[in-house]
Amino acid sequence: MSAKIIDGKAIAEKLRQQIAVDVAAFRERTGIVPHLVAVLVGDDPASAVYVRNKHSACEKNGLRSTLHKLPATTSQEELLAVVRQLNDDRDVHGILVQLPLPKHIRADVILDAVNPRKDVDCFHPINVGLLSQGRPWFLPCTPHGVQQLLIETGVPVAGAHVVVIGRSDIVGKPLALMLMQKGPGANATVTVCHSQTRNLVEIARSADILVAAIGQAEFVTPEMVKPGAVVIDVGINRVAGKLVGDVAFAGVSEIASAITPVPGGVGPMTITMLLKNTLTAAELATEGRRMKAEG
């Protein structure tokens, strides 16, 4: 068996075309341009690339994008002041604080300070709580990207056993919440595995859909995959100058029915969902102002 390659770039481009149409309609209706502000602290090369890609995607799809670049010596209080300023700026709809932050800054303190209605990464405790209840303002970008890949490729999720390897707040936990809820691309039975899971190989091998999001290069090997399973690789690791995922692609692709590549799989979808969230944030802000005016 040779797995079908799930082309995240092509699916992302299709979705971005619809987002661009929706952005144009919003701008025509309101005269407002959805505005995303990214805050980058320090000189981490990977973070700089991510921010640049996000800026380019915004510009191509009719959204406004601004970068606040701060030195690595920025204090926690100075960064908090920037976040508060952006919270108060009515022309800013989405705020993205690029991680990782310098070690002397507590990421949780900064992320908790972002206005939940501008939290387009869906990291704020309020947004996490709303997600757990199935009534979110936003969906976290990478998990939403994974879910859209499954929907767009016609993978049956309802009733399927999904095994998520990794319990991070960014991917593993929110993805599990999303896939177990009612709705399209959901209604799954979900098992979350992590570093303390016993019989990990056996559990992984029971999955109809296996999601690798553990941050270890080529961690998922062929013996962990049930023949015919769908494998989603969220990881991105640099090994000997080459980008590889959390899945040993060559071997696993001979067993799975479908698999995402690295790069070109989940990554483009993450940015696409960020665009969607920025538009949603602008819509929330506009609706909130209209309700206040009418009240």
Q: Per-residue confidence of the chain (295 residues) as pLDDT tens digits?
A: 689 999 999 999 999 999 999 999 999 999 999 999 999 999 988 888 889 999 999 999 999 999 999 999 999 999 999 999 999 999 999 999 999 999 999 999 999 999 999 999 999 999 999 999 999 999 999 999 999 999 999 999 999 999 999 999 999 999 999 999 999 999 999 999 999 999 999 999 999 999 999 999 999 999 999 999 999 999 999 898 899 999 999 999 999 999 999 999 999 999 999 999 999 999 999 976 553 444 4
pTM as predicted = 0.94
Euclidean distance between CA atoms 180 and 175, whole angstroms: 9
> Is residue 250 within 8 Å of residue 229, measured between CB atoms?
no
Q: Which fold has domain 141-267?
A: Rossmann fold (3.40.50)
43 in catalytic set: no
Q: Quick one: three-class SS letters along 97-129?
A: ECCCCCCCCCHHHHHHHCCHHHECCCCCHHHHH
Domain spans of the chain, in order of start:
30-115, 141-267
Q: Class of 30-115 per CATH? A: alpha beta
Name the catalytic one among 7, 22, 54, 147: 54
The four Cα atoms 29, 32, 34, 36 give a dihedral, to 10 degrees, of 180
The span from the CA of 43 to the CA of 150, in Å, is 35
Angle subtended at Cα 203 by Cα 197 and Cα 206, rounded to the nearest 5 degrees:
165
Peptide bond into 263 cis (omega under 30): yes
Q: Establish whether 98 is a catalytic residue.
A: yes
Q: How far is CA 242 from the centre of its chain?
A: 22
The percent of the chain in helix, strand and coil, each rounded to the nearest 5, is: 45, 15, 40
Which position among 22, 119, 121, 233 bears the catalytic label? 121
Tokens for 36, please give them: 């995303």
Q: Is there a contact between 214 and 232 (Cβ–Cβ < 8 Å)? A: no
Strands ordered across the beta sheet of 209-212: 4-5, 258-259, 230-233, 209-212, 161-165, 189-193
**121: annotated active-site residue:** yes
Query: Fold identical between 30-115 and 141-267?
Result: yes
Instruction: At 267, give phi and psi (nearest 5°).
Output: -50, -55
